[in-house]
Amino acid sequence: MLREKSIITIALTTSACALFCLSGETAAESGKSGAVENFALLDHEGKFHELDYYLRMPTSKGIALFIQGNGCPLVQKRVPELNRLKAAYEGKGILFAMLNANMQDNRSEIAAEAKEFGIELPILKDETQLVAERLGVLRTAEAFLIDAKSKALVYRGAIDDRMNYQKEKPEAEQLYLRDAIESLITGEEVVVKSSDAPGCRVVLPEKDQSITYVDHVAPILKSRCVTCHTTGGLGPFAMSNYSKVKGWSDMIAEVLMTRQMPPWHADPEYGKFANDCGISPEEKRTLVSWINADCPKGEGDDPLEGFSPVAPEWHLGEPQKIVAVPEQTVEPEGVFDYRNVTLDNPFGEDVWLTATEIRPGNTRVVHHVIVTAVHPEADRLEKWVTGYAPGTEGSTYPEGSAVKLPKGWKLKFQLHYTASGKRETDVTELGLHYSTEPTKNEFKTKVVMNHDFKIPSGAYDFGTEKEFTIHSGATVYALNPHMHYRGKRMSFEAEFPDGRKEILPSVPNYNFNWQRTYIPETPLEFPAGTKIVVRNAWDNSSLNPHNPDPSKDVRWGDQTFDEMFFATIGYIEKAE
Ligand code: HEC
């Protein structure tokens, strides 16, 4: 993609207990299918964890989840034993994690407690309390052991019988969790499937039976989902009335519980972004609780009936100049490499682009588009003009700034298409707003690339990093992480000259399908000497559903079956 001249301008740029409680029965008999349903959560360090991902690892035998809560002595006193269990069994296919569902504990407090007590397990933060509700969590210090094969709960209860509220024995006599783990590893049936687990009470919200579609759910869908899930929209189905939404409700719960939708992947702990299209934990809870309660409709007109947000032809208004890509045909099936189309620049002089917008001709197949300007004689001299990815609505540059498009430079469109199941055509257009007057603030883009890596075949989490120092002060308006199909996560951290550190943004579950640019709500001021560290990880395993070939070691390359470490930062230099 872009080499050498890396100046780039981004455009974008407890009744649930019924499911799992083991009242003497086997877990398999107690739930719908006995399986613990998939979920994904971030841990106290902002790392992304998905249950099914771990259960599907070829070496995985099971997962032990321990309910944590800050300040609970019955949790704190179990840390050494949990760390020992982890050390003893992690190599034998048992994964250990804690789950914090306490409404009173936030992530930084949990991280502080983890540090103080030397907790070596990731602590997953269940901020909606929906996972705890599903598991029927009542108290902390309880362990849940999930079998990787059946996904069923095979043990729930205390780690052992050493602790009780009032008394503590020097040695445990019953090693419940260890015994259950040993059985799981050897493939035998777990004998003791449950035990009393003394712990601190976990307060879960009352089941709200009054949530209705008309009053509560439809308004959330309207603001968070229907922009795309509308007729002719980006989403694969339209949320156009009650029965449509009800029909999709189980899928909706699934994508919310696994953090797939809405497609906003920044960790909410770090930074505020102007283009944030995420969902709050409260809203998520409302939607999932409503689905768990069998989707009551409520009284009154259907708020989604006839509601269809019509996207304007051009989000930024009619452009002064439109450049159309000649019609492209897209085959019904297959995975396509990027298509490059180079067109003449329509201006006979230098112009200053004040806003740019790409209008995909056919959103069923246009995956992303990147437009660069290329020097007419030296195509290695290339600079970013703008980009489109699902969800972008064009780019305006900060007041008084612009991107320079030099006279004679060509416009190169890199088009990435995905098959839709039928033959499609597409005419994508680039809309330009510009001035012929030079601007004094050129909007520039710094590219942070790291070519120097080899991702081993099969690696679940292989990362690298790259840092650079800002030599003259800058105001930063946009940050964009970019990797290919194996991209797993990327974060930006600023280290200021005074030693202060700040993460801005962190994308813990990067998804190649959503090439997002993160626009800070307030532009970031970086004094000269600020160091930016970009860190990433790839997933080159067979568990990554996008991985084109997990058997290959992968290096840098332009094609999507190669990989990239490519982060961009859109900024204006500060006058000294
Ligand atoms: C920016 C556009 C956009 C927004 C906003 C959005 N979606 Fe989606 N949704 C998509 C696209 C595109 C897909 C197809 C899968 C993909 O590309 O990830 C999808 C897929 C889904 C699916 C899965 C369909 C399937 O069978 O795989 C569900 C369910 C869903 N969205 C629900 C929601 C909900 C609920 C919200 C709001 C909380 C939401 N979406 C917000 C664009 C969007």
The CATH number linked to 130 is: 3.40.30.10
For ligand 1, the distance from its centroid to the CA atom of residue 546, given in whole angstroms, is: 17
Q: Mark which of 414, 442, 470 sits at the end of a domain.
A: 442
**Residues 507 and 383 placed together within one structural domain of the fold:** no
Mean pLDDT value of segment 423-429: 97
Tens of pLDDT, residues 350-397: 999 999 999 999 988 898 898 989 999 887 778 888 888 776 778 888
368 lies in some domain: yes
Tens of pLDDT, residues 116-172: 999 999 999 999 999 999 999 999 999 999 999 999 999 999 999 998 777 888 899
Q: Tokens for 149?
A: 């094969």
Confidence of residue 514 (pLDDT cuts 50, 70, 90): confident
CATH code of the domain in which 458 resides: 2.60.120.230
**Residues 34 and 117 placed together within one structural domain of the fold:** yes
Q: Tokens for 54?
A: 């771990």
Q: Tokens for 466?
A: 């790259």
Question: What residues does ligand 1 touch, defined as CB less than 6 Å away?
Answer: 224-225, 227-229, 234-236, 248, 251-252, 255, 261-263, 277, 279, 390-391, 513
286 lies in some domain: yes
Task: Give Cβ neighbours of residue 356 (< 8 Å, ≥ 6 apart).
Answer: 11, 371, 385, 386, 394, 395, 403, 430, 431, 432, 433
CA distance linking residue 387 with residue 337, whole number of Å = 17
Name the residue of 38, 220, 228, 283 whose CB sits within 8 Å of the most ligand 1 atoms, as the mutation to test its pocket.
Answer: 228
**Residues 361 and 260 placed together within one structural domain of the fold:** no
**Residues 61 and 100 placed together within one structural domain of the fold:** yes
For ligand 1, the distance from its centroid to the CA atom of residue 79, given in whole angstroms, is: 40
Of 345, 370, 514, nearest in space to 445 by CA: 370
Q: Mark which of 442, 477, 504 sits at the end of a domain.
A: 442
308 lies in some domain: no
For ligand 1, the distance from its centroid to the CA atom of residue 86, given in whole angstroms, is: 37
CA distance linking residue 186 with residue 416, whole number of Å = 48
**Residues 427 and 469 placed together within one structural domain of the fold:** no
Of 451, 403, 553, nearest in space to 9 by CA: 403
Atom of ligand 1 nearest to the CA of 390: 1
Q: Mark which of 247, 271, 292 sits at the end of a domain.
A: 292
**Residues 456 and 427 placed together within one structural domain of the fold:** no
Tens of pLDDT, residues 278-323: 999 999 999 999 999 999 999 999 999 998 877 778 988 999 999 9
Q: Tokens for 164?
A: 């009780």
200 lies in some domain: no
CA distance linking residue 57 with residue 38, whole number of Å = 14
242 lies in some domain: yes
For ligand 1, the distance from its centroid to the CA atom of residue 263, given in whole angstroms, is: 7
Residue-level pLDDT at 382:
80
Residue/partner pairs of 331-334 with CB below 8 Å, 24 or more apart? 331/419, 331/423, 332/419, 332/420, 332/421, 332/422, 332/423, 332/424, 333/419, 333/421, 334/419
Residue-level pLDDT at 33:
54
**Residues 362 and 415 placed together within one structural domain of the fold:** yes
Atom of ligand 1 nearest to the CA of 277: 5
> 439 vs 8, 19, 346, CA distance in Å?
17, 63, 20
Residue-level pLDDT at 265:
94
For ligand 1, the distance from its centroid to the CA atom of residue 251, given in whole angstroms, is: 10
Atom of ligand 1 nearest to the CA of 279: 38
Task: Give Cβ neighbours of residue 514 (< 8 Å, ≥ 6 apart).
Answer: 263, 265, 389, 390, 391
Residue-level pLDDT at 576:
58
205 lies in some domain: no
Furthest CA-CA distance within the chain: 86
Confidence of residue 513 (pLDDT cuts 50, 70, 90): confident
CA distance linking residue 9 with residue 48, whole number of Å = 30
**Residues 22 and 171 placed together within one structural domain of the fold:** yes
Mean pLDDT is lowest, of 62-66, 398-402, 421-425, 522-526, for 398-402
11 lies in some domain: no
**Residues 343 and 263 placed together within one structural domain of the fold:** no
Confidence of residue 15 (pLDDT cuts 50, 70, 90): very low
**Residues 44 and 160 placed together within one structural domain of the fold:** yes
Sign of CA dihedral 183, 187, 188, 190: positive
Domain count along the chain? 4
**Residues 256 and 393 placed together within one structural domain of the fold:** no
**Residues 425 and 509 placed together within one structural domain of the fold:** no
Count of Cβ atoms closer than 10 Å to residue 277 Cβ: 15
Residue-level pLDDT at 243:
97
Atom of ligand 1 nearest to the CA of 224: 37
Q: Tokens for 423?
A: 């033959």
Count of Cβ atoms closer than 10 Å to residue 17 Cβ: 16
Of 153, 126, 148, 159, nearest in space to 18 by CA: 153
Buried b / exposed e along 199-223 (16+ C-beta atoms within 10 A) = bbebebeeeeeebbbbebbbebbee
Residue 554 sits in which domain range?
444-573
Nearest residue (by CA) to ligand 1, atom 17, is 513
